[in-house]
Structure 1
Amino acid sequence: MNFGSKSLAFLVLAAAPVSAQAADVVIPDPNYISGRTTAFAVKAVIEEALGLEVEMVTTTAVPVIFEAMARGNGEIDIWTETWLPNQSGMVAKYVDEDKTVTMSDKSFEALNGYCVTKVTVEEYGIKSVFDLANPENAALFDTNGDGKGEIWIGPQGWQSTNTETIRARDYGFADFFELQSTDEAVATAGLDRAAKAGKPWVGYCYGPHQNFAMYDIAMLEEPPNDPANFVMVQPTEDPDWMAKSHVASAYADTSVHITWSSSLSERQPALVNLLKNIQLSADDVNAWSLAVVNGEDPAAVTQAWVKANPELIASWMAQ
């Protein structure tokens, strides 16, 4: 999610209503592989089950996506990657308070945290987030010679990137690292180079994700989630968000939900019934993601899965 500002993301969305009028449903196509596969899977399910025309739009800043769904005019209808607790601020505002967006009760499990190449643990003994709060250890991750290590904290536009900024500060290692907020493809390229060279690498990791199948990586140890030590205020909630946030524990159990514009209940009631019942799985998302990394088209991968599971799709329609 590489939009550096909300205004730039709106430029992308500005063209959406023109093309959206020709489609029945509009879904964002995010720029990270696992997210692309869930978007194309839901698209394939909708087209197979209901025969609706589904359009994909390229926009990835989460606040912009929720704002577009909330307007209810067809700019964006469905978001397949609502991560909790990462996007809890958006859910609190638009789902719980305004009720302009609806979230499915169904979800699949995911994970959030810091991962490292296995050599980082086995040869350098870095096993915990607190091992990063040491200038000598941080120097192991310095690839540009500036005296600081590099750690990827996520792309701009992800709420988790804001959270990782606070966690780096409150875990005590921010001063020893350059906190990199780049496109995920850039981070993966760095991981790939480090893994092939047997070098240390550290960054924010989430799953399901193809990297867990492609590379020998390990998660760093963290203190268990503690609500008292996981107080996150997002920039959209308060301009003084950094001072009011304190995050020094692991994420709570993470789940991924489908959300949609509440206006669909009037515009597409059969679609809403289907969305309430779709149950994706982390194993399937991992498999789809790996296939896409290996060069397959996400639309073809997920369409093949839908064709191979007619009874499951039918059960989602019948509930």
Structure 2
Amino acid sequence: MKHKWTFIWSAMLCLLIGLGIYSSATSEDKGQASNGTIVFADAGWDSIRVHNQIAGFIIENGYDYNTDVINGSTSATFTGLRNGEIDAYMEIWINNLKKPYNEAKEAGDIVTLGTNFKTDKQGFFVPTYMIEGDPEKGIEPMAPDLKSVKDLAKYAELFEDPADPTKGRIIGGYSGSVAQEIMKQKVKTYGLDENFNYFTPGSAAALSTSIVKAFKNHEPWVGYYWTPTWITSKYDMTMLKEPEYDQEIWNKNYGTAFPVDKIYIAVNSDLPERAPKVVDFLKNYKTSSELTGEALVYMQDNNAEAKDAAEWWLKKHQDLWSKWVPADVARKVKSAL
């Protein structure tokens, strides 16, 4: 009996020690797997979602943080960045957000880490077949002399507004975007409101759907678009010329071409102290309009979510992103892929 109890107590002791070790290890693992949560801004377009997922995958698997996303309009999410509800903004289109951006920097609410990519394509677009035709599809040129925004007045009847056939329709920036107000003012500045009605789509998806429909039916279309997008990577579109960018005129009435956009990555001013290694990684994060467009086309062609496109992109471009992080972090991320 004595030996029996000795055996039982020994077994229980081993069990307790084992539980203690397990508990300690589990706590340690949890600590490593949850250094905190990094919250990204989703302002409503696909490219920012892809970059959120690319950065998020690296941060979760390489730096052991959780990540989350807050959705909203450009202005709402930028306010969230300023007040700390959002930690990181992967695409700040500075020319569309200049005043609040400058105010936030001067107040010390945000820290700009670098340029994600640059683009000089933002403005009025039309399908190229309208100008050049498409012999393979039997499409004759509809507006062979359409080269600039000023030329639009000559072709207003081509872009008939179904709600008001007496005028053409220009599709503007989608609801909640800063571009919506810029394009609305541009239409007035160029005097296009005499011949056109300005229409605001309810979302980025509604805007792109209108373009897909036009291409499917070989119809006229004119409106706001930009790069990088899957639309401009997949479809042949022409951006209409505007007067060369002039800062004074732009600030007055937007009556020039959009300036070249540097798409910044910025974080809330608290993040460098809270997650310095993550901030170091985001400082090194640099892509291009073309690289971003690849992921967007993948999403469209494969009916994929931004998360799937990000993982596909990470597998394809290991030589690029592995330079953004230390070697041990790169190994962990590659292992997770």
Same fold (TM over 0.5): yes
- CA distance in 1 between counterparts of 2:286 and 2:256 reads 29
- CA distance in 2 between counterparts of 1:199 and 1:216 reads 14
**Paired AA for residue 169 in structure 1:** K
CA displacement, residues 265-315 of structure 1 (integer Å, 9 cap, x when unaligned): 222122111111111222221010011112122212212333454554443
Quote the residue 2:189 is aligned against: 170
Quote the residue 2:112 is aligned against: 103
The question of whether the paired residues in 2 share the 8 Å contact of 1:113 and 1:250 is answered with yes
The question of whether the paired residues in 2 share the 8 Å contact of 1:29 and 1:36 is answered with yes
The question of whether the paired residues in 1 share the 8 Å contact of 2:81 and 2:267 is answered with yes
Query: What SS does structure 1 have at the residue aligned with 2:229?
Result: coil
**Paired AA for residue 27 in structure 1:** F
Aligned length: 280
1:292 to 299, 324, 337: 299
1:109 Cα deviation after fit: 1.4
Query: What SS does structure 1 have at the residue aligned with 2:325?
Result: helix
Is 1:153 aligned with 2:160? no
After the TM superposition, which residues 1-319 of structure 1 pair with which residues of structure 2 at under 5 Å, given as runs? 24-59=37-72, 61-72=73-84, 75-95=85-105, 97-110=106-119, 111-122=121-132, 123=141, 124=143, 125-132=145-152, 134=153, 137-144=155-162, 146=164, 147-182=166-201, 183-231=203-251, 245-294=252-301, 295-318=303-326
CA displacement, residues 124-157 of structure 1 (integer Å, 9 cap, x when unaligned): 132210012x2x5222111415122111211222
The question of whether the paired residues in 2 share the 8 Å contact of 1:148 and 1:177 is answered with yes
Percent identity, aligned pairs only? 24
Query: What SS does structure 2 have at the residue aligned with 1:85?
Result: helix
**Paired AA for residue 106 in structure 1:** T
**Paired AA for residue 130 in structure 1:** K
Unpaired runs of at least 5, structure 2: 1-33, 133-140, 328-337
Distance of aligned partners of 1:93 and 1:82 in 2 relative to their CA distance in 1, 3 Å threshold? same
1:119 Cα deviation after fit: 2.9
**Paired AA for residue 127 in structure 1:** K
1:112 Cα deviation after fit: 0.9
Distance of aligned partners of 1:311 and 1:210 in 2 relative to their CA distance in 1, 3 Å threshold? closer
- CA distance in 2 between counterparts of 1:268 and 1:195 reads 46
Query: What SS does structure 1 have at the residue aligned with 2:174?
Result: coil
CA displacement, residues 223-274 of structure 1 (integer Å, 9 cap, x when unaligned): 111112211xxxxxxxxxxxxx412110111121111111102221221111
**Paired AA for residue 113 in structure 2:** S
- CA distance in 2 between counterparts of 1:145 and 1:270 reads 54
Quote the residue 1:12 is aligned against: none
The question of whether the paired residues in 1 share the 8 Å contact of 2:70 and 2:77 is answered with no
Q: TM-score, normalised by structure 1?
A: 0.81
The question of whether the paired residues in 2 share the 8 Å contact of 1:33 and 1:292 is answered with no
- CA distance in 1 between counterparts of 2:229 and 2:159 reads 23
> Could you say which structure has the higher helix fraction?
2
**Paired AA for residue 213 in structure 1:** S
308-317 vs 32-41, which deviates more?
308-317
Distance of aligned partners of 1:310 and 1:193 in 2 relative to their CA distance in 1, 3 Å threshold? closer
Unpaired runs of at least 5, structure 1: 1-20, 232-244
Larger Rg: 2
- After the TM superposition, which parts of structure 1 deviate over 4 Å for at least 4 consecutive aligned residues? 307-311
The question of whether the paired residues in 2 share the 8 Å contact of 1:69 and 1:261 is answered with yes
The question of whether the paired residues in 2 share the 8 Å contact of 1:210 and 1:293 is answered with yes
1:63 Cα deviation after fit: 1.8
- CA distance in 1 between counterparts of 2:68 and 2:102 reads 27
Distance of aligned partners of 1:23 and 1:293 in 2 relative to their CA distance in 1, 3 Å threshold? farther
Query: What SS does structure 2 have at the residue aligned with 1:193?
Result: helix
